[in-house]
Amino acid sequence: MIVTQSTTRIVVLTALVLVVVAFVSVAAAAEAEPPAAPPVSQFAPAEDLVGQVKYYLKRLEQAVETEDDYKDFIERIAKDTDTLAVIALALGLHDTDNAYKAAASEIIQATQQLAAAKDYATAKVAVENVKKAATAKTADASNIKWEKVASLKQLMLAVPPINTQLKRNIKLRRPKRDGPKAAGRAAVIAVIGQAALYHSDDTEKPELAEKWYDYCFHMRDAAAEANAAARRTDKAAVPAAMEKLAKSCDDCHTVFHQEALGKEDVEEEDD
């Protein structure tokens, strides 16, 4: 084969075109918008989320009672703060009226200030501001939408301890006590799954946005199924829902975070 200057030029141009096409394809995938969210009531009942707001407010308050408490719970504060942010977002966008719908935007702003706190004194004041924000009655929730309001890292770190508690409660040994707790925890995982949709560009593989969306859907919907089983205290429906939830985590970790495979459970204090 005789290689001419013209042939070389064609090969180079073809290679450049392929590079550009690949770059555009990756960029388009990374920028793809998540599908529209379904009504929040389809995956997380307002009643269960309202109970979780109260739960996380109490935990935050306890975590800053003293400076020693703050030092002991600093990692938990970060997870709880961002979890509370997405719960507030879900309640602000909820299709069911609820006690925190009007306060949602102020809670989100206050949790973001708490997330930025770097010392005990600042965190103590920030927690008080979160508690105050939760009492807002006239705030405008029309400006909130499904978007990033928290750190993906902290949300993902929050899931294992919530899942540990969920596994304990979802056994429904004491249905009247365990049912509401399991329902609340499943609702929070469902909300985290929905909120995580908007973080595809924060993963190590933003070009796989469509896969990320699918895994988030599976997590959200499996948690919603667990929530429904807990609300009905339907022990027979629990295994299938929990199996789907575990699979959603494993499938996602296989692609996006292999180091987390098999590490879904962590110890968390009972309550």
Query: pLDDT digit string (tens) for 105-153?
Result: 999 999 999 999 999 999 999 999 999 999 998 766 678 999 999 999 9
Query: pLDDT digit string (tens) for 58-117?
Result: 999 999 999 999 999 999 999 999 999 999 999 999 999 999 999 999 999 999 999 999
pLDDT at residue number 260? 67
pLDDT at residue number 15? 41
Residue 262 banded pLDDT, cuts 50, 70, 90: low
Residue 257 banded pLDDT, cuts 50, 70, 90: confident
Q: Provide the strand spans (E) within the chain.
A: none
Both tokens assigned to 185: 């925890």
pLDDT at residue number 191? 98
Cβ within 8 Å of residue 258, ≥6 positions away: none
CA distance 41 to 27: 33
Query: pLDDT digit string (tens) for 193-237?
Result: 999 999 999 999 999 999 999 999 999 999 999 999 999 999 999
**What fold, for 152-260?**
Four Helix Bundle (Hemerythrin (Met), subunit A) (1.20.120)
Residue 252 banded pLDDT, cuts 50, 70, 90: very high
Residue 1 banded pLDDT, cuts 50, 70, 90: very low
Residue ranges per structural domain of the chain: 40-133, 152-260
What is the model's pTM? 0.86
- Whether the predicted pLDDT of 14 surpasses 90: no
CA distance 71 to 192: 26
CA distance 248 to 214: 9
Query: pLDDT digit string (tens) for 154-168?
Result: 999 999 999 999 999
Q: Is 237 helix (H, G, I), strand (E, B) or coil?
A: helix
Q: What is the DSSP letter of 259?
A: G
Residue 173 CB neighbours (<10 A): 10
Q: Supply the angle between the helices 209-231 and 5-31 in degrees, to the nearest 10.
A: 20
Whole-angstrom CA distances from 129 to 126, 133, 260, 270 are 5, 6, 34, 27
pLDDT at residue number 259? 75
